[in-house]
Structure 1
């Protein structure tokens, strides 16, 4: 399972790479649409490629947890704003959730900057 909480190209690229290496993949996202931050022309190409390689697309599911079990990785999915929970098991989980900046270098350099970080 590839979980896309970012909405960009990254999860789509990961799914394509996984399937091309022989894996079966499903892409899961909390949004109504697949990768909303990807432009429509580019998204059409991705959707076509995913359809051709048999990738299942599951919208409107938020990842609430992953637990290792003897059967694999037990995933808890839900729908935002509702108590609904779904439990499924996968061999592997890839989660694209964006990036967090490293704050320390910014903080260390701030006082010696000419604009003090735009303050």
Structure 2
């Protein structure tokens, strides 16, 4: 039990020191950084080039839908990943849970296919 506590303490210390280092770097750059704003530095740019058009263009909702699908199916992998670490004590109950979860994900995928959610054209 003492070993687990020391491991958690080491992890907490590493996260805390990383956060502290980030804050210190931001504060130092604020105080010691060069502050010479001019019109050229305050204008927005696109990939290092000046903007061709000042108006903001709307993105198609299709890009957001594809991103949402990616998140949904990517979260599935996050839920399934810890099961790979349970090789030694893999019980029937866990196997049934995994099968039910995968069936739900597969049914969701087929429902999205049926609704033509993956169709790119209008």
Task: Please give the range of the TM-score, normalised by the shorter of the 2 chains.
Answer: under 0.3
TM-score, with structure 1 as normaliser: 0.18
TM-score, with structure 2 as normaliser: 0.18
Higher helix share: 2
Higher relative contact order (CA 8 A, sep 6+): 1
Greater C-alpha radius of gyration: 2
Higher strand share: 1
